[in-house]
Amino acid sequence: MRTLGLIAAFCLGGLLFFISFDFPSWGDALSPASRHVSPYYIEHSLEDTSVPNIVTAVLADYRGFDTLFETAVIFSAGLACFFLVRVSERQVPAARFYRHLATGITFRIEKGGRLPEGTGEFERIDSLWVPYDVIIGMTCRLVVPFIQLFALYVIAHGHHSPGGGFQGGVIFGAAIILFAISTNLRRTLKRMSERSSALLSSLGVLIYAGTGLLCLFMGAGFLNYRALAAILGVDQVAARSDGILIVESGVGIAVAAVMVWIYYNLSSAGKQDEGL
Amino acid sequence: MTVSAVIFIVLGLFFFTGGSIGILRFPDFYSRLHPAGKLDSMGLLMTMAGMALYTLRDFSLPAIITALKIMLIVVLVFITSPTATHAILDAGVRAGLGPWTAPEKKVKE
């Protein structure tokens, strides 16, 4: 059976290798790809959409369907991770660990016992990894807001420079994950619960698809942002630019929330009690 | 301006090379972190300063803004890189990895 698989893999690989000789050479100006669509995008994207960054114009406007389904794929990745890993029933951990804040003494409470947490005297800590580190905590606290600001900049500046919804969303999600790593999972869950991350990730896809549907209701094709000109009160070219921004922010919300959601599930093995 | 930029970048590449050689040649985890943390920060400062000087060839407001952005990268890395090194080292200590000691030389009889 293994040899059979090996033979099949070699045949397929050899076939792909053989076919690759028929491809046009890299950067060939006469290849079909650079003769038909590319020149149109390069020559007309600025006057069509008033977006200087051609990549963004192609990604969110000309090929908007593609990007919509990419966002849906990312959303379904988060959903799949949730369904595969998440443990629904509440398990009582064998022992909980608490730190007395004034003295730094660690308590080990067995059989599901709890110490009062809200009073500011005790702090629950993880059993495996107990960082009591001022340096890392302070640095992350210092850096995280700037990373989030930069993420918003990347999303909003995708029209003019490399960037856009996916990249900015990833940076935003990474900032939240950095906060989770530097403190702990429970404190992060208090800031951004699992429910809100799930809702936000579906909201991002909804913004994208809803923009497309709105164009449909306004009498143009799906994701044809020209139709939004009447609502936004601008001319059609500016409406395409604004439509790209709306869609990109939807992508950013979805990507950031899905990253955080996947992190919650993977880092705590689905229990979302103790984690990295 | 261009000459000093080239000098800075070459110095930075020298530091980067030293860091890579150090990571490869040092005997254990902790001593490898030393070139990884220090020489990379210094090399980054040098190369980024060189690039900032290179953008300042034609002295104008956009060039100054670009140079400031490049130096902002250095500020960010100077805050985060030592913290990352500290965190990795801390993880090593917590995991119970002992420091390296020189093996005792066998005396030939």
Instruction: Express each pLDDT in B47-60 by its tens digit.
Output: 999 999 998 888 88
Domain membership of residue B104 (yes or no) is no
Instruction: Between A193 and A28, name the one with better pLDDT.
Output: A193
Sequence-distant (6+) residues with CB within 8 A of B3 are none
Give me Rg for the CA atoms of chain B: 19
Show the CA angle centred on residue A267, arms to residues A264 and A271, nearest 5°: 70
Using a CB-CB cut-off of 8 Å, the residues of chain B touching A135 are 83, 86
Domain count across chain A: 1
Range from A83-92, A190-199, A241-250 carrying the lowest mean pLDDT: A83-92
Taking alpha carbons only, the member of A243, A118, A252, A259 closest to residue A179 is: A259
Sign of CA dihedral B69, B73, B74, B79: positive
Domain membership of residue A115 (yes or no) is no
Average pLDDT over residues B4-33: 89
Alpha carbon B82 to its chain centroid, in Å, reads 10
Q: What is the pLDDT of residues A36-50, one digit of tens each?
A: 888 888 888 888 888
Our CA-based measurement puts residue B83 at a distance from the nearest CA of chain A, in whole angstroms, of 6
Using a CB-CB cut-off of 8 Å, the residues of chain B touching A150 are none
- CB burial of B64-93 (b: ≥16 within 10 Å; e: otherwise) equals eeebeebeeebeebeebbebebbbebeebe
Check if B94 contacts A (Cβ < 8 Å).
yes
Q: What's the half-sphere exposure (Cβ side, CA atoms, 13 Å) at B90?
A: 15
Work out the number of other CB atoms within 10 angstroms of the CB of residue A194: 15
Nearest-CA residue of chain A relative to B85?
A136
Average pLDDT over residues B22-49: 88
pLDDT band for A200, please (50, 70, 90 cuts). Answer: very high
Using a CB-CB cut-off of 8 Å, the residues of chain B touching A142 are 79
Instruction: Between A231 and A71, name the one with better pLDDT.
Output: A71
Domain membership of residue A30 (yes or no) is no
Beta-carbon separation of A139 and B80 below 8 A: yes
Contact B86, B94 (CB under 8 A): no
Question: Using CA atoms, how far apart are residues A97 and A124, in angstroms rounded to an integer?
Answer: 6
Question: Using CA atoms, how far apart are residues A62 and A234, in angstroms rounded to an integer?
Answer: 20
Check if A32 contacts B (Cβ < 8 Å).
no
Q: What's the half-sphere exposure (Cβ side, CA atoms, 13 Å) at A51?
A: 31
Question: Using CA atoms, how far apart are residues B62 and B49, in angstroms rounded to an integer?
Answer: 17
Contact A218, A230 (CB under 8 A): yes
Using a CB-CB cut-off of 8 Å, the residues of chain A touching B76 are 143, 146
Domain membership of residue B62 (yes or no) is yes
Q: How far is CA A123 from CA A101, A254, B82, in A?
A: 7, 32, 28
> If you ran DSSP here, which 8-state letter would residue A22 be given?
G
Crossing angle for the helix pair B2-25 and B29-55, nearest 10 degrees? 170
Domain membership of residue B107 (yes or no) is no
Sequence-distant (6+) residues with CB within 8 A of A200 are A253, A254, A256, A257
Q: Which residue has the tokens 């940076």?
A: A171
Q: Which domain holds residue A145?
A: 52-90+131-267
Element (H, E) at A11: helix A2-19
Using a CB-CB cut-off of 8 Å, the residues of chain B touching A146 are 76
Beta-carbon separation of A136 and B87 below 8 A: yes
Q: What is the pLDDT of residues A222-252, one digit of tens each?
A: 888 888 887 887 888 888 888 888 889 999 9
Alpha carbon A264 to its chain centroid, in Å, reads 13
Domain membership of residue B16 (yes or no) is yes
Domain count across chain B: 1
Q: Which domain holds residue B38?
A: 2-94
Instruction: Between B49 and B91, name the one with better pLDDT.
Output: B49
Domain membership of residue A173 (yes or no) is yes
Residue A209 has pLDDT above 70, yes or no: yes
Using a CB-CB cut-off of 8 Å, the residues of chain B touching A139 are 79-80, 83
pLDDT band for B99, please (50, 70, 90 cuts). Answer: confident
Quote the pLDDT of residue A76. 93
Q: What are phi and psi of A110, to 5 degrees?
A: -95, 170
Partner residue opposite A136 with nearest CB, options B76, B83, B94: B83
Quote the pLDDT of residue A64. 86
Check if B93 contacts A (Cβ < 8 Å).
no
Average pLDDT over residues B76-88: 88
Beta-carbon separation of B76 and A142 below 8 A: no
Domain membership of residue A26 (yes or no) is no
Check if A131 contacts B (Cβ < 8 Å).
yes
pLDDT band for B86, please (50, 70, 90 cuts). Answer: confident
What is the per-residue DSSP string for A92-129? PPSEEEEEETTT--EEEEETT-----TTSSEEEE-SS-
Average pLDDT over residues A112-118: 69
Residue B33 has pLDDT above 80, yes or no: yes
Domain membership of residue B6 (yes or no) is yes
Domain membership of residue A35 (yes or no) is no
Contact A215, A242 (CB under 8 A): no
Check if B72 contacts A (Cβ < 8 Å).
no
Using a CB-CB cut-off of 8 Å, the residues of chain B touching A140 are 83
How many inter-chain contacts (A to B, CB under 8 Å) are there?
Answer: 19
Alpha carbon A149 to its chain centroid, in Å, reads 16
Contact A126, A154 (CB under 8 A): no
Quote the pLDDT of residue A174. 93
- The verdict on ipTM greater than 0.85 is no
Contact A133, A216 (CB under 8 A): no
pLDDT band for A118, please (50, 70, 90 cuts). Answer: low
Domain membership of residue B99 (yes or no) is no
Q: What is the mean pLDDT of chain A?
A: 84
- Give the max Cα distance, chain B: 74
Domain membership of residue A117 (yes or no) is no
Domain membership of residue B100 (yes or no) is no
pLDDT band for B107, please (50, 70, 90 cuts). Answer: low
Check if A52 contacts B (Cβ < 8 Å).
no
